[in-house]
Amino acid sequence: MDKFKVTFYPDNKTVRVEKDRTILSAAISAGVYINSACGGDGVCGRCKVIVRKGRVASQASGAISLEEKKNNIHLACSTIIQSDLEVEIPESSRINFDKLTPEELEERLSGLYSKAEDIQPVKTKLEAGVFKHSPFATKLYLELPRPTLNDSISDLERLYRGLRQLQEFPVVQTGLFNIRQLGELLRDSEWSVTLTLGKRNDTVEIVLVEPGDTTKKNFGLAFDIGTTTISGQLVDLNSKKILGTKATYNQQAAFGSDVITRIVYAGNSDGLEKLHNAVCDTINEIIREMAAEHHIDLNDVNCIVCSGNTTMIHLLLSVDPAHIRKEPYVPTANFLPVVRAAEAGININPRGLLYCVPGVSSYVGGDTTAGVLSSGIYQREEPCILIDIGTNGEILLGNKDFLVACAASAGPAFEGSGVTSGMRASAGAIQKVNINKNDLGVTYSTIQDKKPRGICGSGYIDLLSSMLETGIIDKSGKINVEGSRIRSTENGKEFVVCFKDETDIGTDIVINEADIENLKRSKGAIYSATAILAKHLDIELSQISKLFIAGGFGTYLDIEKAVRIGLLPDLERSKFVFIGNSALAGARQVLLSNQAMAMAEKLASTITYFELSVDPKYMDEYSQALFFPHTDLARFPTVKF
C-alpha cells in the first residue's frame, strides 16, 4: 500500500501514513495535537491547518470561508491526504499540553477568586482526624526465626506466621511471583525482610517481599482523572506528607472535548486503545516528573488511587464505555476491583496496586463520591449542595440523612468548546473582563499576563455579566446596541472583545449571539438542575446551609457575576464555599486510610441518582433558566441592572 510522508510545522515532525487518511489522523500518529473539540466530526471548526505543499481532498464545510480556502486552509479532520504533504498548524489550532504553573496549580487546588472575604476553603476530614491513618499500601519489617528440625514449616507459612504475630489479618495471600523467589530471598537476607502489604477488599495481599528493612521507602499516588485536566499528588505513606503536586491537560483532548465525543471515538476500530494510551501517557508523565523531582525510585511507589467521572475511569482501564451514552445509560461497572497498576498501563512498582474510587451511575462518577467524602456533606445536619461546574455538571444535594445527585448536561462551553473564541484556562486566556458603559471600551486580564489567545470559562462569566450591566445584551442574550465593536455576522451580531492587533493569534477575539446562546444553555442546565433537584426533595433553596463549589473552574469563579447571569442561585454569599479539587482531596484520603476507602464505598452505595430526563417538570425549569438571570426575577432579588 502506498504511503505518503506528512510533515507538520512548526513541530517539524514527520510521519508516513496510508492513502486516504485524514490530516488529523496523521497528526495523532505523529504525536502532534490539533484541537478537535468535536472528535473529528467536522462541526467545531477548531482544527484548521494550512497545507503548504501537496494535494488533498477536502469536504465542503461552512467552517471554512472563501478567503480561507484561497489561502489553503482546511479542516484537518475532513481533509484526505493524496500525496506527500507539508502542513502548518497555526497557534489557534494547537493543543499545548503545558504543565500548569505553580500559581495556576495553587489556584486550581485550593485558591479563591471572589470578593466575598468570608468564604474559606474547607478543611478536609482526614486533616480533621476523622479517619485513622491506615494507608492503601503499608510496609512491615520482619525478623523471622530460622527453620530447624523442630520448626520446619514451609517458608511461606513462616512468613505468614511472622506477619500475624505482628498484626492479625483475617485473610492473607500472595502471588506466584513472590513464592518463586521466596526461598532464596529469605536465606540471602538472613531471614530479615520487608513486606509490602496492600488491601484487596477483605483480603491483605503481600504485594512484594524485599530483603532488609525498606520501610522508610513507601510512597503512593492520588489522582483526579478529569475530562480536561489531570491532577496528581505524590504522598509519603508513612508521614502522610504531600511531596509533590502536578497537573496537566488530558491528552485525550485531541479526540474530543467532552465525554460523549470520546465515547463515540472509542467505538472506532482502535479508538479505545488510543484513548486509553492518551490518558495513561498523561498520568505516567506526571508520575515520572514528580518522582524525578523528589529523587524517588518508581519501584518504591506501591499504590495509586484514582477518582474521575465514569467515562474517564472506563477509558483508564480500557473498558468499553459505549453503553454509558445509550438509554438506559448503564456503565460496565461502578465498583471496580483493585488491580495491578501495571495491568492498567500505569508505571509504578510493577506489582503496585490501583484502586478507583467507586462511582454512582453513568454520569455521576467517583469524582463526585470523592467530593462528598472530602467535603464532609454526609456528616452535616443541614442540607448542602455540591456543584462541580464542568462539562457534565454533577450536582449533589444532601446531608447526613440523604444524598441525591444528578448530572446536568451543561456541555463544554464554559470549558472553552463550542464558542467562537473559547479556550481552556491556560496561558493567554482572558479570565477577567470589564466593559466601560460610556464607550464600551474593554479592559481584561489574562492567565500569566500573556497576550490574549481566547476566553476561558471564568472570562465568559465576567464578559456576560459586564455585557448585561452595560446593556449590550438584553435578558434574552440579544445584542441590542451599536458601536465600533458591534458587527453583523452569519451567527448574528458579535461583540469584539480584542481586536487582532492586540492578540497572540492574529485574529479578533469575539463573542457572538450564537456563542451567547450556547453559554446560556450551559448556565441554564446548571441552575435548572440545581433547582429541580431541590424541588424534587421538597427543599427551598433558601434552606441550603452551604453550597460547595468544586473543581478547578470554580476556583476562578466570581460569585457575584455567576449569580448575576443566573449560573448559581441567589443565596447569601457566606453560604458559598470553594473547596478546590475535592476529587483529588478525596482520592488522597482514600490513599491514606482504609476507613476512608470503606466510607467512599458506602457513600457510592448510598447516593441516589436522580435522572433529570424522567422528571416532567425539568424542561419547564430549564426553559425558564434560558434568560439572564431567569424569567422569574423574584428568584434573584439581589440582581439589579
461-486 tens-digit pLDDT: 999 999 999 999 999 999 999 999 99
* Under-50 pLDDT residues of the chain: 102-103, 106-129
Of 97, 93, 89, nearest to 11 by C-alpha is 89
For 137-211, CATH gives: 3.10.20.880
Domain boundaries, the chain: 3-93, 137-211, 366-412+520-635, 420-511
pTM: predicted TM-score of the whole model, two decimal places: 0.88
What is the per-residue pLDDT for 162? 94
Per residue in 113-170, pLDDT (tens digit) is: 333 333 333 444 444 447 999 999 999 999 999 999 999 999 999 999 999 999 888 7
What is the per-residue pLDDT for 641? 75
3-state secondary structure of 92: helix
Q: What are phi and psi of 547, to 5 degrees?
A: -115, 105
**Whether 593 contacts 135, CB under 8 Å:** yes
CA dihedral 73, 78, 79, 82 (to 10 degrees): 180
Which fold does the domain 366-412+520-635 belong to in CATH? Nucleotidyltransferase; domain 5 (3.30.420)
User: Counting Cβ atoms within 10 Å, is residue 395 exposed (0-12), middle (13-18) or buried (19+)?
Assistant: buried
**498 vs 238: CA distance, rounded Å:** 52
**243 vs 630: CA distance, rounded Å:** 46
**Cell numbers at 239, concatenated:** 508521614
Q: What is the Rg, in whole angstroms, of the alpha carbon atoms belonging to the chain?
A: 27
Instruction: State the DSSP string of 378-418.
Output: GG-SS-EEEEE-SSS-EEEEE-SS-EEEEE----SGGGT-S
Which fold does the domain 3-93 belong to in CATH? Ubiquitin-like (UB roll) (3.10.20)
What is the per-residue pLDDT for 553? 67
The domains spanning 3-93 and 366-412+520-635 adopt the same CATH topology: no
What is the per-residue pLDDT for 1? 56
**620 vs 638: CA distance, rounded Å:** 23
